Amino acid sequence: MTETARSWLNSLNSLYTPTSTQFDAAKSHRASIESRLDAFLGVYEMFEIGSLRHGTGVWQHSDADYMVSLKGVRPSSPWTMLNRVKETLQARFQGTTIGVSRPAVVCYFSDGVVEVVPAYPSDSGYWIADPADGWMKSYPKSHNKYVNDVNTKHNGAAKALARQLKIWKYLRNVPISSCYLEMRAAKHLEGESTYLPFWDLYLALNKMYDANLAAMNDPTGLGSRFGACSSEAKRLDALSKLGSAVVRANKARDFESDGKDAHAIEQLKLLFNR
């Protein structure tokens, strides 16, 4: 039986959907990380965040991510917080490479990577290190609820679309924030009455291109804007690759609409570098 473009796209999504056990090894370090930080810095809570927890992770690319809410007074510089957490964990896991990639402290365990985002609680949300500079507010629980609500409205499509955008990012080496892609996918589908896989993949990419990958307003109205890239050079690189993606997604949409599945699949393979 001839493969359809829709079945090809579904297979791609399935291939890059992590199983429930693939990150068990990395997650097994949670208790020891929390115990160490609580003993030396004081911890209010530590909870899983990021794409794996949220159901938009990408196999072979996503890490186990946690936010740790710290006790004490928030220092003037987030680097003070990040370095304290790094040094505290390095003393505990001496054979493990541990680095800082704002806003996270990254632990490269032999059986998996764990990213720890240190934070200080506030009346609403958490203060974390801004990837650009200084401090920023983060609302991971509220943002997860927003994406979940849109996802429920479209029977799982918001997370499927977000994963497709992330697969494109990783396979095409696009220097763009995964969080930005997820929020863009949800924001796009929030305004749609139905989900059409090829149309919505094209439209989500095209909207970002038309916006020149500008920072987007927090759709929950709670936090600051979501930035797409960590530098202007990376934004220009991502924008160039996004332009090619828009052209290929548009061609795939047209071919699929015309029943030319083989041609649509060719464009999808170019889009996702498969």
pLDDT in tens, 47-74: 988 776 667 878 877 778 899 999 999 9
Task: Enumerate the domain spans of the chain.
Answer: 24-138, 142-272
Residue 78 pLDDT greater than 90, yes or no: yes
Q: Report the pLDDT averaged over residues 175-192.
A: 92
DSSP state string for 138-204: E-HHHHHHHHHHHHHHTTTHHHHHHHHHHHHHHHTT----HHHHHHHHHHHHHT-SS--HHHHHHHH
What are φ and ψ of residue 122, in 5° steps?
Answer: -135, -175
What architecture is the 24-138 domain classified under in CATH? 2-Layer Sandwich (3.30)
> What pTM did the predictor assign?
0.84
Give Cα separations from 25 to 94, 110, 112, 231, 272 (angstroms). Answer: 18, 9, 6, 33, 29
Say what the pLDDT of residue 14 is.
Answer: 93
Binning pLDDT at 50, 70 and 90, where does residue 222 land? Answer: confident
What is the rounded average pLDDT for all residues in the chain?
91
Residue 1 pLDDT greater than 60, yes or no: no
Q: Residue 258: left if φ>0, alpha if ψ -120 to 50, beta else—which one?
A: alpha
Model confidence over 231-273: pLDDT tens digits? 889 999 999 999 999 999 999 999 999 999 999 999 999 999 9
Residue 132 pLDDT greater than 90, yes or no: no
Say what the pLDDT of residue 52 is.
Answer: 65
Nearest to 67 by CA among 37, 40, 23, 98: 37
Please name the residue that has the structure tokens 């020149």. Answer: 212
